[in-house]
Amino acid sequence: MTIAGLTLPDLIGVVVGFLFTIMIFSYLIGDNPFFRLALYIFIGAATGFALVVVAYNVLWYQMLLPLIQNPIDSLYMVVPGLILGLWLLTKLSPRMAPIGNPVMGYLVGVGAATIIGGAVLGTLFPQVGASASLFDTDAAAASGLPVYIYIIRGFIILAGTALTLLYFHFGVRQSSDGQMRRPRWIEELSGIGQIFIAMTFGVLFAGVYSAALAALVERMSFLLNSVLQFLPLG
């Protein structure tokens, strides 16, 4: 069974997508029940999807399936995670919540260590390496740029990197008036670093705005094509 050249599943998908797009766009005229309904459905679907992914990829594949296939060798891997997971359930009860604080501390510590390690190894070290490579004359010759332009660009990028990092220097000392302030030279240089940060945020905002505009154009094109598909033109 086909309607307007679409099979029934495709037709249902087009109709549902059309209705939800209109419901989301209805927010342009103010908050209303249709927008809230679409929002609740989206949150519910996202939560259900996350729950299924956790249950399938974590509980089943990483805990239950190893115990079923090879219980002896899997005990030392599965049991600690199972104990910590059950221990964390004590946070559901207000009376027993303090018992789960060690597990929460462990999770926060592991999360913080992962974030710091990722920032250092994935951002800071590669940034230092990239900044150092900007003064490679062989790379300048390979890029086709004049060496002096390549070096000037390298100095600008290096200065932006250093001054941006300096902006986040929070060491203070007591000044002559008794106030705790950063040294004057750090304050002045960090102001320049703030300019680089503002430029970065501007570029990021432009990228986000462009992505949002592209999504809007795609949705408008979808609405138009959905309407034209059911009109008896020609």
Kindly tell me if the per-residue pLDDT of 78 is higher than 90: no
**Extents of the domains making up the chain:** 1-69, 134-234
With a cut of 60, say whether residue 234 has pLDDT above it: no
Tell me what pLDDT residue 69 has: 82
For the ranges 46-60, 155-169, 173-187, which has the lowest average pLDDT?
173-187
And the tokens for 112?
């913080």
Contact 21, 222 (CB under 8 A): yes
Helices 184-230, 147-167: axis angle to 10 degrees equals 100
User: Would the pLDDT of 5 be above 70?
Assistant: no
User: DSSP E strands: which ranges in the chain?
Assistant: 2-3, 6-7, 173-174, 180-181
Mean per-residue pLDDT of the chain: 82
Q: What is the pLDDT of residue 45?
A: 92
Dihedral angle sign, alpha carbons of residues 164, 165, 168, 174: negative
Tell me, what's the pLDDT at 205? Answer: 93
pLDDT score at 142: 72
pLDDT, one tens digit per residue, over 190-219 is: 888 889 899 989 999 999 999 999 988 998
Sequence letter at residue 169:
H
pLDDT value for 83: 84
pLDDT of res. 232: 63
How far is it, in rounded angstroms, from Cα 161 to Cα 158? 5
